[in-house]
Each structure stands twice: as C-alpha cells, then as structure tokens.
A and B are shown apart, each in its own frame.
Chain A
Amino acid sequence: MQQIINFIIRNKSFLLYLLLFSLAFVFTIQSHSYHKSKFINSANFLSGGIYNSVNNVSEYIHLEKQNELLQKENNDLKSLLYNTTDSLNRSFTDTTYSGISYKFTPAIVIKNSYSLSNNVLLLNKGRRDSIQQDFGVISSEGLVGIIDNTSKKYATVISVLNTSSQISAQLKKSNHFGSLIWNGKSPYLVQLTEIPKIAPIEIGDTIITSGRSSIFPKNIPIGTIDSFNLDTAQNYYVIHVKLFNDMTSMEHVYIIENKDSNEINKLINNTNE
C-alpha cells in the first residue's frame, strides 16, 4: 500500500497529465459523434454572451450586404405573392387547426466557423424561444444546418460543413435521393453520395432537400452540381455540390420547426420495432 502511494506521489504530474489528456480525448470523441457534445459547447451564458456582444458591434460591417440579401428575398417573396395565377383559389387555412406544419423563427448567427473539420455556428435564439435539438436551419439562399445544443438564450448549429453531418437531399428534376456529407476540404463544396448510377445527372443540375427526414421540408435549395464521379464500387455517384449559400458569410437565418416531427418519429420507431 505504501509503495502504491509512493508511486502515485512520485509520478503525480504524469498521472495528472494522463487523466487530463484522456478527459480531453473523451470530449473530442464526443464532439465527433453526432449530437453528443454535451459539456463543452459555446451555447452557454459566458461564451454566448461574449460572442453576442461582439456581434452587436461587428454586424454593422456587413450591414449593407445583408440588407441587399434581405431585399432580394423580399423581392422574391413579393413576386411569388402577386404572380399567383388564380388568386381566388388560394386556400385560407385555419391556423388553429394546425394546417401549418412548419414554423419559422428568424435568428442571427453570432459565431460562424468554416475552416475546421467540424464547423459549428452559434445562434442568438435558444430554449426561451422554444428552439430544440434537431430543428433545421436555413438562410434565404439555402440550407445551413441542424440545431445541436441549446441553452436558455443560445443554440449551436451543426453546419453542413461538418464531417459528422448527414442530410437527406435529392435531385430537383428526378426523385433520386442520397445523403449530403462534407469531406472537410472546401467550404464551398459539399458531397452528395448514394445517388444510383441510373440517375440522369448533368453539371449544373440543382440539388434540393428531399423532405424524407422530419427535419427539413422538401424543396429547400442546396446547390448546383459542380462535378461528379462514380465511387469505388462503380454503383453510385459521388457528386460535388456547389452551395448556393456562402457559408463564410452568414448573418440572418431561419430556424424551421416541424410540428409533426414527433408524430413522424414515433411512427417510424414503432414500425422499426
């Protein structure tokens, strides 16, 4: 017993090093697996608060560009509104009778990253605004990511530029779908895999979300095909998709809540059992 204690005292710095290193290693592994980074994330009052106050100042720099983006989006929505072919047939839904299944919440990106291999964004909306894990996040241009952790006032988003993110996507012109992943190289290109060889694809085709998961509705634009090649088994395409979004400059985003997601997930889980 004496010897064990002596050993511990003699090697205490090494043992402490081992302990702390393995602790850091556990945190790292957790951050690499989807939805597991529970303890160390920036959605807490300290880092969230600091990022928020810094963003209050720095958002003025991008104000002009963001205004242009918002004006463009307004323009698109206006043209949609006034160009509806038969305005008589527009169905007026009773909102109390949950006719709307997607609820949108505007948010501002207060921290963005795109140079790491696991990029995470921080938004200024949290549990207080009824934001929860697995809500989708889009911008006016296209897809951004999925909510991961939430605190009272802030939420972290697993961006599409994250090697652990996996989002269901499809071709716009046919219904062939695959999953969208990122190889960690360019912040402008993501990869769409598992598209069968039979699918008719061309460079420049548009990729949209498939609506097969309960997170995103269908038809959210993602990007256009930049290049493609067959995978090693020669059965599926690996498509490089050029994002519509400029992930390096994000300011205004929308959080999508699918009101039916609980019901859908419950149904799927029941079927699987």
Chain B
Amino acid sequence: MNSLIFTHTFRFIILAMFQVLVLNHINFLGYINPSLYILFILLYPLKNNRVIFIFVSFLLGLTIDMFMDSGGVHAAAAVTIAFIRPFVLKFSFGAVYDHQTMKFGNVEFGSKLTYITILTVVHQFVLYALEIFNFSKIILTLQYTLFSSIFTIILCVLTTIIFSRRNK
C-alpha cells in the first residue's frame, strides 16, 4: 500500500514537471501542446477512494495552472475527467470492469484506446472552452480540441506501451 502511494506521488511529480518544463514548449504548428499529465488520472488505481481521487486530480490540474498562469482551466478539466472516469471505464471495458478483475496491463488494445480517447477529448474540450472562453470562437475551440487531442492520444498510448513492457 505504501509503495503504491509512493509510486503515484512520484508519478504525479514527474508528470507535472515533464508537462511544465518540456511539453508546454513544443508548440507544434504554433499552438499544439500535448497534455500528457492526464496519464496520472487515466492510470490511477481502479480501487480507490473516489473523493480523494477527485481531489488529487484537482491538485494536479491546479499545479499545472500555477506554472502556466492559466487561472483554473487545467484544474477544471482534470477534475471533470476524474469525475466521469468510472462511467467511461464502464462504457469502454464493460463486463471486465464490473467484475473488478481488470488491470491496465492486460486489457485489449481497442477498449483501452476508446477509454483514452474519450477522456482526452473531454479533457481538451473543457480546457479550450474555458481558456478561449468565447462562444463566438466555437470553431477555434473545436479546432484546438481536435488537434491537441490527437497529439495527446498518440503520446499517451506510446507512453503506456513503452512503460508497460518494462514491468513484465
């Protein structure tokens, strides 16, 4: 249990630092920056205290916000996907999730991709809707959401593949 807490604290710090110091400076095509830090929320243990989980996600988002001077947009987006995660889990993994036996290491790739995609798109949409904060620029919001979601999904999938191999 303690090692689990240690692992996740470590992951929290590493992902937040990597996001702030490396990924926020990519600016691919001028504005696309992947939000890899949501991997912390995606891979949080399934058996959890939901209240603590939501609160930790909020803290993670707020940390990113503090570094980026973006008010509370990352916090809002992170807390949203933390809240809807159980529903998305049920939707994308179905029966496996209901029996409480699944582990992220041994689920099939298709449903895992669905899971990552839904949460990433929701996260990016909330993020850019709040950041641009203008209904008349809805096209711009959707455009940002689309491009940076694609980038984030690719990076998340790659990272999970790379780091899952090593564990086996």
Contact = CB atoms under 8 A, between A and B. Distances in A.
Interface in A20-38: 20-21, 23-32, 37
A115 interface: yes
A37 B71 CA distance: 7
A122 B67 CA distance: 10
B54 A156 contact: no
B30 A115 contact: yes
Contacts of B51: 12-13, 16
B38 interface: no
A156 B70 CA distance: 12
A23 B74 CA distance: 12
Nearest to B137: A184
B98 interface: no
A228 to B, nearest CB: 22
Contact of A27 (B68, B71, B140): B71
A25 to B, nearest CB: 6
B83 A42 contact: no
Which applies to chain B's interface (DSSP): helix, strand, loop or mixed? helix
A7 interface: no
Nearest to A115: B31
B3 to A, nearest CB: 26
A245 interface: no
Given A24-B61, A115-B30, A187-B30, A31 B72 contact: yes
Contacts of B20: 47, 50
Contacts of B30: 115, 187
A64 to B, nearest CB: 19
Contacts of A26: 72
Given A16-B54, A20-B58, A115-B31, A42 B69 contact: yes
Interface in A107-151: 111, 113-118, 120, 122
A16 B62 contact: no
A97 interface: no
Interface string B46-57: 000011001100
B133 interface: yes
> For this complex, into which size category does the number of interface residues on chain A fall?
35 or more
A148 B130 CA distance: 21
A268 to B, nearest CB: 29
Nearest to B24: A113
Contacts of B17: 50
A219 interface: no
Contacts of A23: 58, 72, 75
A116 to B, nearest CB: 6
B72 A184 contact: no
Contact of B69 (A16, A17, A25, A156): A156
A66 interface: no
A109 to B, nearest CB: 13
Given A17-B80, A40-B71, A50-B67, 5 more contacts: A13-B83, A26-B72, A50-B21, A116-B70, A122-B69
5 contacts: A24-B72, A32-B133, A40-B65, A47-B67, A118-B131
Q: What 3 A-B pairs are tightest by C-beta distance, nearest first?
A: A31-B71, A27-B72, A24-B72
Interface of B: 17, 20-21, 24, 27, 30-31, 33, 50-51, 54-55, 58, 61-62, 65-73, 75-76, 79-80, 82-83, 130-133, 137, 140
